[in-house]
Amino acid sequence: MTKQSIIAQEMERMGLGEVQEYYYNLDRSETITHGILNGEGELSHEGAFVVNSSPFTGRSPNDKYLVQSDDPDLWFATGTEPIDEAKYKVLKAKMLAKMNTQRLYIRDVLAGADPAHAMRIRIIADNAAASLAASNMFIPYEGNEPHKDPDLTMFVSNDFAADPEADGLRSPAMVVLNFEDKTVLVGLTRYAGEIKKSVFTFMNYVLPKRDILSLHCSANKSKDGDVALFFGLSGTGKTTLSSDQERALIGDDEHGWSDEGIFNFEGGCYAKTIRINPKYEPLVWEAINRFGAMLENVPLDEHHRPDFNSNEITENTRASYPLYFISNYEPTGRGGHPNHIFFLTADAFGVMPPLARLSNEQAMYYFLSGYTSKLAGTERGLGDKPQATFSTCFGAPFLPLKPSIYAELLSKRLEKHGTKVWLLNTGWAGGGFGVGERIALPLTRAMIDAVLSGSLDDVETHTHPIFNIEIPNAVEGVPDEVLNPEKSWTDFDAYKIEANGLAEKFIKNFAQYEDSVSEKVTLSGPKILKD
């Protein structure tokens, strides 16, 4: 059977047998050419393909739905709504009827760099930009034949708008996942992050059921093979901090941890670009300013130069590019069991220490808490200022199973492999947002380097009186007032009030997990400092 006949057969099976014009696995140049001819975007002066996804310049968390099933482990994160099978079938039929009248771009890719755990993914889109994003962000499929009955099929239609009243949705935009049908529907939104995170959500459902821990983290490794993981939500520094000229990048966002070690889910990166500095982020800068990269919502000047300092369209400007655009990437997308794990938080209150060592119990506590500050523009409707938030396992919107499942898998891995866990604050010091200053990137890198070099293995520490975590007494190149946040405040009483306030938030949030963890884990968290 020829490739074309297989595709035709697959189109018929998927309900797209009436489509008159479609393209299968166009190469990057052809896809960009189609995007330009379609009027979807234009080239920067250095060749990046630049698109505007307005009005959807971030994820739409309130437009995400999971189709209900009999799975007792299915979990609906805050904002994620259940939808019944009947409504899903109607939506799918309406969307495919629309797509049957359009030119379509079909892309077969893989998710999972370990062949033993790779998923066959198909993205069918009515626009070339979505297909380019998929080409950049996932692992190329180079098989002789198209996927037959893929593990996941995603239908992406920028031109399909749901009828909220008739379809029972909250808005005309939608991201609907059906694990039984192995399908995702993405309607109306042009934000490429919805494609990426839908695949991640799917992997988060499938892999833990196979005893593989799925993780929202970046990963790199040294020349000697020691692996470091960086957990954190968007804007906390995963991409930046894992892009190290001295270490090979395994991946910048999503990984699995199996009995064999770490493997990347993706074949590319989706980096925030707002105010990117080539001095501090040379690898990412080079990757985003070349032909084949896709810039999302980055304004161009009259000479087609990207203005990375502008938030004219959104604070959440993005770039997608294949991993091999990073000069020191790890081509296998794999590494051994991690030696170190960093939990990244951008603390908007300016009270958390920039570096602290966590016990295994504290690792469970802070993993389940997932504290950070959502940064402006990362999600629609967030506003102009960061907001403190707790996101379970540093990725709550993308977890379709009960949080305890992921936490138990992490605990098992930490115990077995002796991985050291650190809390790293990439947020503010000397006061909260608007008063203090964000911790300088070179200082954060100095702390990471100290951890990875082993120089902090035996360093003396002291316990933070509120957050109950061990802070190194000294880190080379890092001022004492930075290491100890209370010393960077001019008023200790004001510091204590803010720190106690954040501790209260931790305690209140963690109450939901107390029945699923040991008392030792619960007691390892923050405590209120009394007068």
Does the active-site annotation cover 253? yes
Given the residues 126, 167, 252, 253, select the one marked as catalytic.
Answer: 253
CB 370 within 8 Å of CB 395: yes
Q: How far apart are CA 371 and CA 447, in angstroms?
A: 20
Given the residues 28, 34, 59, 147, select the one marked as catalytic.
Answer: 59
Alpha helices in 325-457 (DSSP H): 360-369, 403-417, 441-453
Q: Which two tokens stand for residue 330?
A: 């790890």
CA dihedral 11, 16, 20, 21 (to 10 degrees): -70
Assign 3-state DSSP to the chain and report helix, strand, coil percentages, each to 5.
30, 25, 40
> Is the previous residue joined to 397 through a cis bond, with omega within 30 degrees of 0?
no
Q: How far apart are CA 263 and CA 213, in angstroms?
A: 11
Does the active-site annotation cover 189? no
Query: Which residues, in sequence order, are bridge partners of residue 355?
Result: 424
Does the active-site annotation cover 445? no
Does the active-site annotation cover 94? no
Given the residues 318, 334, 357, 464, select the one marked as catalytic.
Answer: 318
The full length of the chain comes to 531
CB 398 within 8 Å of CB 177: no
Given the residues 44, 153, 189, 234, select the one marked as catalytic.
Answer: 234
Does the active-site annotation cover 444? no
Does the active-site annotation cover 59? yes
Residue keyed to tokens 């501090």: 280
Instruction: Give kind and range of the element (H or E) at residue 96.
Output: helix 85-99
Given the residues 53, 60, 135, 239, select the one marked as catalytic.
Answer: 239
Return the number of other C-beta atoms located less than 10 Å from residue 513's C-beta.
18
Given the residues 28, 117, 216, 357, select the one marked as catalytic.
Answer: 216
Query: Which residues, in sequence order, are bridge partners of residue 329?
Result: 249
Q: Which two tokens stand for residue 379?
A: 């999600």
What value, to the nearest 5°, has the Cα angle with vertex 143 and ends 142 and 144?
120
Residue keyed to tokens 């690898």: 283
Query: Which residues, in sequence order, are bridge partners of residue 119?
Result: 111
Instruction: Give kind and range of the element (H or E) at residue 291.
Output: none
Does the active-site annotation cover 54? no
Q: How far apart are CA 247 and CA 221, in angstroms?
A: 5
DSSP string, 274-285: TT--TTT-HHHH
Question: Which residues touch 405 (CB under 8 Å, ≥6 apart)?
Answer: 73, 208
Does the active-site annotation cover 238? yes
Given the residues 28, 107, 238, 334, select the one marked as catalytic.
Answer: 238
Given the residues 197, 357, 420, 464, select the one marked as catalytic.
Answer: 197
Q: Active-site residues: which are they?
A: 59, 197, 216, 234, 238-239, 253, 318
